[in-house]
Structure formats: structure tokens, C-alpha cells
A and B are shown apart, each in its own frame.
Chain A
Amino acid sequence: MRNRIREQRIQRELSQADLAEGLAVSRQTVISLESGRYLPSLPLAFKIARFFDMTVDKMFDPEEEEAGA
């Protein structure tokens, strides 16, 4: 599943540590989320989407990976 976390973070000129602090998760988790190695829980997915003022389906796109695979 692709996500737009990295793209949105860079757009807002935030470091991974800043985002980690904003989401109350560790920097390692932000790295895992951005690389797509970790799929967040539903509450965390909503938290991420709200943090970037987006909807969950705009932030996470399962079809993008399927198209790329």
C-alpha cells in the first residue's frame, strides 16, 4: 500500500522527528510508515490523515501498489 506521508511531510518542510512528535510515535515508526514497511492501525491512519488535513483514502492508496506490482 502506497502512502503520501513522505511527500506531505517534505511539502510542509517537517523533519521525521517533527512528524513523530506530532503523531506521538517514534522516529523509527515514521521511517517504517514512509517506506511502507509498516501499515498503521486505523486510529493512527486517521491521526496521520488529520495531521496533514487530508482524508484517509487520499493519504493511503491500496490501488497504487496493485497497479505498480
Chain B
Amino acid sequence: MMSFIPPRLRKPLYRTLAGLLIAGAWAIGSSGAGRWPLTVVIAVASLGQGVIRYAWAGEDTDEGALLGSRADERQQLVGQQALALAGKIALSAAYIGVLVTLAVKQSDVWPFLAMFAITGFGYLLGLSNYGSGEPAADDGMTARHHARSPVSW
């Protein structure tokens, strides 16, 4: 599906759809006078940020390249570092949220606990996917080294 969408449009489109989903969730979950006006506000804001992101994606900058899905290896690294920082901040915010809600109102602690647990699980998943899950491979020399130890007693 992605190949049908021009690269420059991909991320702005996904962010817009994410915003529209929030508008939809608000429309479903709320009632009363504020239901539709706020739904429209969220939807318009989502479309607006999508247009801004699309314009930004056309710029000759690192941010534009990342938004426009045409980042080279250095720009991808910059994006990964920014994402890692966002993850650290999210984990810290969740931890602070847990601490504060435990001290103030313990019944509200679960969203922060869930966010803390999910972010921590994401980190473990990352370790598993990108390295620590690497099985120990036979290098073809270990057995020979064991067979002919240079140390004699």
C-alpha cells in the first residue's frame, strides 16, 4: 500500500489519519454540547498539521528529509537518536507520573504504570531484536583451542 503513496505524503498522511482517529474517538466517547464543535476543531487541526508537515517535508533540511521519507543514512541516524530521546523522555515522564499519582491519588496510577511497563517492554523488545538475542555462533576455532591448550601443568 505504501508504494502507492508518494514518499513526501506518507508521514503527513499518517499523522493526519492519527489526528482524525482522535477526533473520531472524541465524537464517539463524548456527549452534550461540546461533542461536535470539539470534534470539528480536532479534525481541522489534524488536517492543518498534515498540510504543514507536507510543506515541511519539501524543504531541503534534515527534518524535511525525515518527514518526506527520503532520509539518507546520517539523517536516519538523527531520526533514530531523536526517537531514542523521545523514548527516554516518555519513560521518565511515566515514572514521574507513577511517583506523583502514588503520592496524590493512587487510583489513577494505572495509566502511568501501563505507559511505564509498555515503554520498558519496548526497550527489551529492541534489545532482543537488535542484538542481545544474537545466538553464540561457533567460530570454528574454539574446539581446536580446547584441544591444544598452550598451558601445561
Binding site for B on A (CB under 8 A): 24-29, 32, 38, 40-41, 44
Contact = CB atoms under 8 A, between A and B. Distances in A.
Q: Is the interface of A mostly helix, strand, loop or mixed?
A: loop
Interface size class of B (residues with CB under 8 A): under 10
B74 A27 contact: no
Nearest to A32: B74
A27 B74 CA distance: 11
A28 B62 CA distance: 7
Q: Is the interface of B mostly helix, strand, loop or mixed?
A: helix
Nearest to B71: A26
A27 B75 CA distance: 11
Nearest to B70: A26
Contact of A25 (B60, B61, B74): B74
Given A26-B62, A27-B60, A28-B61, A41 B72 contact: no
15 contacts: A26-B60, A26-B65, A26-B71, A26-B72, A27-B60, A28-B62, A28-B74, A28-B75, A29-B74, A29-B75, A32-B74, A38-B74, A40-B74, A41-B73, A44-B73
Contacts of B71: 26
